[in-house]
Structure 1
Amino acid sequence: MTARSQATNTQKRPKVQCSATTKQLLFNQVTPDRAFLPAQDPLLRLPPGLQAYEDALQELPKLTLGSPGFLRQTLQDLPCFDLQQLPALASCDTAQLLQQLPPACQCYTAAAGTSSSSSSSPQQSTADVLRSFPSCDAQLWRAYMVLAFLTHGFLWCDGPGVPSVLTQLLAQPFAAVSAAIGMPPVLTYATYNLMNWRRLDPAAPLELGNICCQHNFFGGMDEEWFRLIHVAIEAAAAPAIAALQPLQQAALQHDAAAMELHFAAITSALQAMQELLARMGERCDPYVYYKRVRVPMSGWRNNEALPQGLVYEGLWGNQPQQLYGETGAQSTVVHALDAALGIQHTKGWMQAYLTDMRAHMPPSHRAFLHQLEQEPSVRDAVQALAQTTTSSSSSNNNSSGSNKSSSSSSLVEAYDAAIAELERFRSQHRAFAIAYIAQWSKKEAKEVGTGGSDFVPALSAYKDATAAHKLAGSSSSSRGCPLHS
């Protein structure tokens, strides 16, 4: 195939159009200013009728100081969670919600409305995913966070021994709210980080120094800082996420100059993200993180403490369900960059795990990823433009040909610069994971992360796969990999 025909094929790839409704939903939930953080600051309280649950969550760090069993008994003594207090569920048949597929089946199949690669077609369209769930309802997301924190506190924060059955008092409302918003009944990155912050000064920017966590498990600076670094990284990623769809449109139009500008925005945002991650050690000690902060994030899949999984009392025939815990792999940022930049993780286990992680993302985030994957390949467009320009310049020895060759080179360099910074971010994340987890574990490289993965080889493989996508075959950025510890 000639370079020119490659360019033509890239231009003619079918484009899936978003309806006006879908575009509006995406705009409301994935915004240029905040990307995957809520467009409005997260809700601080549920309606007064659910105050007992809010009070228990507020007291959670104090309850962990009680005698063994005190925290669990306190939570079991709560009144029933009245779903009718949530307007979005007031007219909903909650019994029908609870009859949905068990979460282990619902989340890790195509029914989750997510596509693991651009070559496969999901069973639900982008618009269908968004219409299926009232995922923009702030009270539902608040209820989801409250119940997730109390559930994980019940399981992991009350001394030795982990119950294999989640009390019906928490299990049933947690399952109902989760089903209503299209999420699994387990702590996720969205509830742990994206929805769990507030600004100290509501009029000041969303950035480190002006944010704090709404809620904690054990409390303390290390836990707060760990979470706030992630919130700040999500905010810093916004310029990159805002550039992705315009980048794809520029690729469709073969506008090399516009593509370079969007690549530069992505590169700059990734550098800002690295600078923030490098600050983790300022207030989050690796040993404290390993021994205390990470414990409540654990799920019940690939977890020795719950080898069969967790029984949600009274649900799904009381059969144990296995769900991954909270992990940074559930952040949509890097998934979106992979999708737009054309990075493929070809090893089956890598792709399977990343697909599973999508089921733990809010439906609007899944829809955003799906939409990115339907667009023409940016990587193919860069290659086609470079080859077309090179072919043209070789047949013309005038100055115009030289300018075209230079333009081709700068486009490839701009693409590779973005890839290099994404590789560096993944390398930095791997170094952080080793410093904060592996070095404290007797199992070291075999230590399983809170998301249930054998994280050291996984993070190495993701980094290597990213590096392999550089078009010019250049080495990683010469800047060091900052990690404060």
Structure 2
Amino acid sequence: EIPKIIKAVICEDQETSKMALLHICSCLKEARKVFEEIRKYVDANQFFNVLRIYLSGWQGNPKLSDGLLYEGVWDTPKKFAGGSAAQSSIFQSLDILLGVEQSASGESADKFLQEMRTYMPPAHQAFLHNLENCPSLRKFVISSHNADLQEAYNSCVQALVSLRSYHLTIVEKYILTPARDQAKKGNASKESPDSESRGTGGTDLKNFLMAVRNTTQKALLKED
């Protein structure tokens, strides 16, 4: 749908833009429904104490503060981030498409998002770069003065906000609450009290996700 929207913007085709935005909105709502399935199939303590360990990387990890030495590959230790949703080109492409300027989320958040692009396949990185140089959908929607198109745009942004808000809910249940419970039991890391509640990508998880979500919400267009 993204190439279709870009072509529609270039051709000033409001109807095609609207229909494509509504389709993306529908996909985002469906993605949230799928995300909600985690509560049914994944136990929070199992995720935090078992699965999450294998998702963590060597960047921002106090247990490997000097990085990890890949013997026979490099002569010096390397610091790589663990798995992160920010490594998904889907969400970064939606931000670019909708004109959500995540640079406003703060310098550290923007730096992290840019760094996570280096973990994407080269073709995905190239797609994001090309998308950034395409005509602005947001400006097109604003200048159109088309209420239906603006509503479709806002619906798409709101669906992305909703997904990111739910991400925060899941983080609270699957990471922050188990981390607090672990600390109460005296099992928290001696090196860093909050190390267990950081993202597997090495971020200050809750603050990062809140900043990204809030910046997305600010992209909503106000009624004329």
- TM-score where L is the length of structure 1: 0.42
Q: Which runs of 5+ in 1 are unaligned?
A: 1-242, 387-407, 474-485
* Aligned mate of 1:275, from 33, 54, 71: 33
* Residues in 2 aligned to 1:339 and 1:259: alpha-carbon distance in whole angstroms: 15
Post-superposition CA distance 1:41-96 (Å, at most 9, x none) = xxxxxxxxxxxxxxxxxxxxxxxxxxxxxxxxxxxxxxxxxxxxxxxxxxxxxxxx
Q: CA deviation at 1:368?
A: 1.8
For the 8 Å contact 1:382–1:412, the answer to whether it is kept is yes
| Cα deviation, residue 421, structure 1 | 0.3
1:337 & 1:384 partners in 2: Cα distance? 20
Q: What's 2:138 paired with?
A: 379
Q: What's the RMSD between the two structures over aligned residues? A: 1.6
2:8 paired with 1:250: yes
Q: Which residue number corresponds to residue 217 of structure 2?
A: 467
State the SS of the aligned residue for 2:221. Answer: coil
Q: Which residue, out of 427, 434, 453, partners 2:172?
A: 434
Seen in structure 2, the aligned counterparts of structure 1 residues 311 and 444 have a Cα distance that, compared at 3 Å, is closer
Given that residues 270 and 421 in structure 1 are in contact (C-alpha distance below 8 angstroms), is that contact kept between their aligned partners in structure 2? yes
Q: Quote the Cα distance in structure 1 between the aligned partners of 2:194 and 2:220.
A: 31
Alignment partner, residue 299 of structure 1:
57
Corresponding residue of 1:421? 159
Query: Aligned pair 1:458/2:208, yes or no?
Result: yes
Higher fraction of helix: 2
Q: Is 2:61–2:195's contact at 8 Å kept on the other side of the alignment?
A: no
Structure 1 stretch displaced more, 441-450 or 296-305? 441-450
User: Runs of 5+ in structure 2 lacking a partner?
Assistant: 184-192
Per-residue deviation, 1:424: 0.4
Corresponding residue for 2:189?
none
Counterpart contact for 1:416–1:471, Cα < 8 Å:
yes
Query: Which secondary structure state, in structure 1, belongs to the residue aligned with residue 63 of structure 2?
Result: coil
Q: Note the alpha carbon deviations across 1:211-265, whole angstroms, 9 max, x for none.
A: xxxxxxxxxxxxxxxxxxxxxxxxxxxxxxxx11111111112111111101100
Q: Does 1:326 align with 2:76?
A: no
- On the 8 A contact 1:309/1:320 being kept in 2, the answer is yes
The percentage of aligned residue pairs carrying the same residue is 30
Give the Å deviation of 1:469: 0.4
The secondary structure found in structure 2 opposite 1:351 is helix
Distance 1:297 1:446 in 2: 13
Q: Deviations over 1:278-301 (max 9, x none)?
A: 111111111110010110111111
For the 8 Å contact 1:423–1:463, the answer to whether it is kept is yes
User: Structure 1 residues 455 and 253, CA, compared in 2 at 3 Å: closer, same or farther?
Assistant: same
Q: d(CA) in 2 for partners of 1:259 and 1:380?
A: 13
CA separation in 1, counterparts of 2:51 and 2:112? 23
Once residues 355 and 457 of structure 1 are traced to their aligned partners in structure 2, the CA distance between those partners, rounded to angstroms, is: 17
Question: TM-score, length-normalised on structure 2?
Answer: 0.89
Q: Does 1:359 align with 2:118?
A: yes
Deviation of 1:314 after TM superposition, in Å, equals 3.9
Find the aligned partners of 1:371 and 1:358 in 2 and give their Cα distance.
14
**Larger Cα-atom Rg:** 1
Which secondary structure does the structure 2 equivalent of 1:469 belong to?
Answer: coil
- The number of residue pairs the alignment matches comes to 209
- Asked which structure has the greater RCO (Cα within 8 Å, sep 6+), the reply is 2
Q: C-alpha separation between the residues in 2 aligned to 1:455 and 1:302? A: 12
1:43-442 → structure 2 map (5 Å cutoff): 243-316=1-74, 318-345=75-102, 346=104, 347-386=106-145, 408-441=146-179, 442=183
Q: What is the CA distance between 1:371 and its match in structure 2?
A: 2.0
Offset of 1:445 from its aligned partner? Answer: 9.6
Distance, in Å, in 2 between the alignment partners of 1:254 and 1:446 is: 49
Distance 1:445 1:304 in 2: 7
Q: Which runs of 4+ in 1 moved over 6 A?
A: none
